Structure 1
């Protein structure tokens, strides 16, 4: 996972260096980018199911997977741009989810 966060940090740095906007606006636009990418997931799912009468089957499920990956990467970049301690923030949050959902489900399972 270290290579992942190194790549995310490099992407975030590149975006920071590219923009001349104030920090608050840069972060806000990065957060909006998550929604843009989520819209591309929706478009790909509709295309993979052939539900756009004009386009038919315009996407594959592999393209849906790629769009989901874009959402994840964009979210990670947003977190890094908000907080340079993003790996620690994410690890802590994931640990809380694990305790709440995974560990709790294991404890509730019949034995």
Structure 2
């Protein structure tokens, strides 16, 4: 297990101790991914100044940080659905990479 997966596992353990592992908590962890996605979108809107009332309110670093929050939140939630989240993630990533390679090779 890599250091990142160990850190994720410790975050999951902390959440489990703090909030439990019931169905409601698992649902909240999935919903939290959506909340974090919304924050990433808001940061992008703020970076581009698309709200004329607010102007530019965020930086590219803010957007990057929010995207990391989305990824970490999703990986934390993944722990609730498998005993081996690293293997599930790596297998899915490999399938995505294979599809991308196949699409690139198609005429």
> TM-score normalised to the size of structure 2?
0.90
Q: 5+ residue gaps in structure 1?
A: none
State the Cα deviation string for residues 62-103 of structure 1 (Å, max 9, x = none): 10010001000000000012222100111111111111112x
State the Cα deviation string for residues 9-55 of structure 1 (Å, max 9, x = none): 111111111014x5211110000000000000111011001112232
Q: Does 1:46 align with 2:20?
A: no
CA distance in 2, matches of 1:29, 1:86: 18
How many residues align structurally?
107
CA distance in 2, matches of 1:68, 1:15: 21
- Between 76-85 and 30-39, the greater mean CA deviation after superposition: 76-85
How do residues 10-89 of structure 1 correspond to structure 2 at under 5 angstroms?
10-20=10-20, 23-89=22-88
Which aligned runs of 4 or more in structure 1 are off by greater than 6 angstroms? Answer: none
Q: 5+ residue gaps in structure 2?
A: none
> TM-score normalised to the size of structure 1?
0.87
CA distance in 2, matches of 1:28, 1:81: 10
